[in-house]
Amino acid sequence: MDKKQQLLNRLSDVRSDGQVIIDSERGDVTGDGFMDTVYLTGTKTEGSPFWQNITLNILDGKTNIYERISLKENAGYHPTIFLGDFTGNHVDDILVVIDTGGSGGTIYAYVFASLEGQMRQIFDADEFNERSKYEVNYQKNYKVTVISSDPKKKYTLDLMYKGEEYLSEIYNEDGTLKAPIEGWVDPISGLFPIDYARDGTYELVTFQRIAGRYHADALGYVHNILKWNGNEFVTDRQNVSIFGEDLD
């Protein structure tokens, strides 16, 4: 108990090194049947919601051993923790999400899991963004195609809802393009845990904005539902959502 109190004192609201507790959750993340305490700590910028030196901390509920895990990207806004089972082994895993503050509302996100007795990182949003490639091209007759490389799928978006002013800047009267236009798909801007099967195992749902001529010209979102296959998260299914037209 003395050792546990020492560790709790170390993680007191105001630490000697200037770090404070940003968020905390309790759950069994080691799989030993004891409740562990998981913290995010960081240094807050004075007069700003920006956090630096964000660090993941785990206090083992059985051994009282304190583990500190550095994050690859450790600065940003609104850092949060979610505990839930993503791997299907009935042990809580750790999801950390941090807003980058950049255009498009992109995020840093990591999942950590206790596998074979060691806490390992099993998901990195940046690595997902690197392997998720898309092509966005305006087509004749007021259409845009979005082609995904993994999984290999093609989506066709109808631009008619954008209105005459928007379309007249891009298309001739006969529906042909005035000039070729390429859009793009942003990195992940949202990552949400959802238990679709209600079996206690969570999937990860990603949101990526589809941009047209410029960043604010949003055309919709690509959603990937990611499931753990025993070695990594893979896309179980993918879809695209579009914006609706306002009615009078």
Q: Which of 131, 154, 147 is nearest to 232 (CA)?
A: 131
> For all residues of the chain together, what is the average pLDDT?
92
Distance CA 20, CA 172 (A): 58
Residue pLDDT, tens place only, 227-239: 999 999 999 999 9
Per the rule left: phi > 0, alpha: psi between -120 and 50, beta: everything else, 22 is: alpha
- What digits encode the pLDDT tens for the residues 104-131? 899 999 999 999 889 999 999 999 999 9
The pLDDT value given to residue 14: 45
Give the bridge partners for 121, in sequence order: 112
Average pLDDT (131-145) is: 97
Which residue in the block uniquely carries the two structure tokens 């753990």? 228
Position 247 scores a pLDDT of 83
